[in-house]
């Protein structure tokens, strides 16, 4: 049943002002028609049956079982119908009660039962009118049938509007929830981006400057003659620079992405390949949960500790490349390889997806996962970024960063 009997039963759901008015009008209509039938009845039995029908109607309006159970509502409608039919046999004025009965049947019964019930009610009204000696004319048939048609059109139209209203209400709620999630995701992404920016700034300016100061002080210390009084001051200055450099590096580590806080780059990349990992893992994209490509991770060469900007860049490029694979490539397999060589570190992301023409790719509108953004990350560290792909031949993304001196 698409629409609850809210017009009749206020306890089923909170009613809008318009529905309260409609419910009150239905009660008044039923009471007025029963009073008319009772007053114009030809016998005391007709008056008594009108009162009984009114009592049955009132009981159904307030009994909790009728409000809460469709079966109880059907039983109540049956009792009301039997009482009305008995009254109909005694007084022709009872046929006007058929009109509110149409609305009750349409509201309380499923469509497959309400339409036959309305039809039978209309037929009973016509037969009673004829049975009480009325002359046969088109009005005898048109009146009850037209009333039934108006009731059916009104109730089914209202039900259609109600369903559309509920659909739009749910859609609005989903949009509000999605907007809140998007805002939270944007705030989180902005926080991570700012952390990365600060980490790069500290590493590229403060940490590098302190390292240069330390080297210059060491050279100055070697240039002084043995036993020079200034040697002690230079040594203390060099130690202070070294301590501040260590502190700056701790700041850089603290500002690194959460994926790198509790392990190495290799561990973060391996977690990235696990099913259902965040927005970048195989559970995302058009596949649905747990239905993305199988992703394998491997390490080649002897791992060395990389500077934080290198680890951040390689992790973000891997996330971006894998996100593109999941969302666009329709791949069944993908592989991430981290290779450590004598003078460089290389990251390869390869899939067996649909492929594309790299020259036709436009810059990403969000600035996050586009190929230009990946290329910019690599080139900012003096590295190279290449993409090899063709329609139907999969995609290979490779980034190579030169290892800094002393790594």
pLDDT tens digits, 196-205: 777 667 766 7
In sequence order, the 6+-apart residues with CB closer than 8 A to the CB of 129 are 92, 95, 140, 144
- Higher-pLDDT residue of 365, 127: 127
Quick count: other Cβ atoms within 10 Å of Cβ 197?
11
Average pLDDT over residues 119-124: 84
Which residue stretches of 109-137 are H helix? 111-131
Average pLDDT over residues 210-231: 78
- Higher-pLDDT residue of 394, 251: 394
Does position 290 have pLDDT exceeding 50, yes or no? Answer: no
Domain boundaries, the chain: 17-174, 260-402
Instruction: Give the confidence band of 366 by pLDDT, cuts at 50, 70, 90.
Output: very low
Average pLDDT over residues 87-100: 81
Cross-strand partners of 294: 333
Share of the chain above pLDDT 90, in %: 9
Average pLDDT over residues 9-14: 42
User: Of 25-39, 128-142, 227-241, 327-341, which range is least confident?
Assistant: 128-142
3-state secondary structure (DSSP) of residue 325: helix
Tokens of 252: 């850089």
End-to-end C-alpha distance for the chain, whole angstroms:
72
3-state secondary structure (DSSP) of residue 144: helix
Average pLDDT over residues 296-317: 86
Using the Cα atoms of residue 76, residue 78, residue 83 and residue 85 in order, give the sign of their dihedral.
Answer: positive
The reported pLDDT for the residue numbered 259 is: 61
Average pLDDT, the chain: 77
User: Of 67-81, 287-301, 318-332, which range is least confident?
Assistant: 287-301
DSSP state of 132: T
Give phi and psi for 191, each to the nearest 5. -65, -45
User: Of 143-147, 252-256, 300-304, 379-383, which range is least confident?
Assistant: 252-256
CATH of 260-402, picked from 3.40.980.10, 2.30.29.30, 3.30.465.10, 3.30.565.10, is 3.30.565.10
pLDDT tens digits, 126-169: 787 777 666 666 666 777 778 888 888 888 888 888 888 889 99
The reported pLDDT for the residue numbered 364 is: 47
User: Of 181-185, 192-196, 323-327, which range is least confident?
Assistant: 192-196
Average pLDDT over residues 202-218: 74
The reported pLDDT for the residue numbered 251 is: 66
- Higher-pLDDT residue of 99, 142: 99
Does position 368 have pLDDT exceeding 60, yes or no? Answer: no
Residue with tokens 């490349």: 321
Share of the chain above pLDDT 70, in %: 78
- Higher-pLDDT residue of 174, 187: 174
Cα–Cα distance measured from residue 332 to residue 351, given in angstroms and rounded to the nearest whole number: 8
Strands across the sheet containing 344-351: 294-300, 333-340, 344-351, 395-402, 384-389
Q: What is the pTM of this model?
A: 0.40
The reported pLDDT for the residue numbered 250 is: 67
Residue with tokens 């500002």: 255
Average pLDDT over residues 181-187: 76
Tokens of 221: 């210390």
- Higher-pLDDT residue of 257, 60: 60
Does position 293 have pLDDT exceeding 60, yes or no? Answer: yes
Most confident of 47-61, 152-166, 247-261, 337-351: 337-351
Average pLDDT over residues 60-66: 75
Give phi and psi for 311, each to the nearest 5. -65, -40
The reported pLDDT for the residue numbered 15 is: 47
């Amino acid at each position: 049943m698409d629409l609850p009997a809210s017009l009749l039963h206020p306890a089923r759901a909170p009613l809008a002002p318009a529905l309260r008015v409609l419910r009150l009008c239905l009660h008044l209509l039923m009471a007025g028609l029963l009073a008319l039938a009772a007053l114009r009845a030809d016998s005391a039995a007709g008056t008594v049956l009108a009162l009984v029908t009114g009592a049955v109607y009132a009981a159904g309006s307030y009994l909790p079982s009728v409000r809460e159970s469709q079966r109880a509502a059907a039983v109540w409608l049956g009792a009301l119908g039997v009482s009305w039919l008995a009254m109909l046999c005694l007084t022709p004025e009872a046929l006007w009660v058929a009109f509110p009965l149409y609305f009750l049947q349409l509201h309380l019964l499923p469509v497959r039962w309400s339409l036959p019930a309305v039809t039978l009610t209309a037929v009973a009204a016509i037969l009673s009118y004829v049975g009480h000696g009325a002359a046969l004319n088109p009005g005898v048939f048109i009146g009850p049938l037209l009333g039934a048609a108006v009731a059916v059109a009104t109730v089914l139209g209202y039900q259609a509007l109600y369903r559309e209203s509920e659909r739009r209400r749910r859609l609005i709620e989903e949009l509000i929830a999605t907007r809140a999630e998007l805002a939270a995701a944007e705030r989180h992404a902005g926080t991570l981006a700012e952390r990365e920016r600060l980490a790069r700034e500290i590493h590229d300016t403060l940490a590098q400057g302190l390292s240069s100061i330390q080297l210059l002080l060491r050279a100055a210390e070697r240039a002084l003659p043995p036993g020079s009084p200034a040697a002690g001051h230079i040594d203390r200055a060099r130690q202070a620079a070294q301590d501040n450099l260590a502190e700056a590096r701790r700041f850089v580590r603290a500002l690194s992405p959460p994926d790198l806080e509790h392990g190495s780059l290799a561990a973060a990349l391996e977690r990235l390949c696990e099913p259902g990992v965040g927005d970048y893992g195989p559970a995302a994209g058009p596949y649905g949960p747990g239905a993305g490509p199988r992703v394998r991770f491997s390490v080649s060469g002897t791992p060395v500790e990389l500077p934080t900007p290198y680890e951040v860049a390689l992790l973000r490029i891997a996330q971006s490349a894998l996100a593109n694979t999941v969302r666009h490539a329709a791949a069944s397999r993908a592989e991430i390889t981290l290779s450590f060589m004598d003078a460089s570190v290389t990251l390869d992301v390869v899939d067996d997806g649909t492929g594309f023409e790299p020259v036709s790719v436009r810059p990403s509108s969000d600035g996050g996962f586009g190929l230009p953004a990946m290329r910019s990350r690599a080139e900012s560290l003096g590295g190279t970024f290449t993409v090899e792909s063709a329609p139907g031949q999969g995609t290979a993304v490779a980034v190579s960063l030169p290892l800094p001196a002393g790594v």
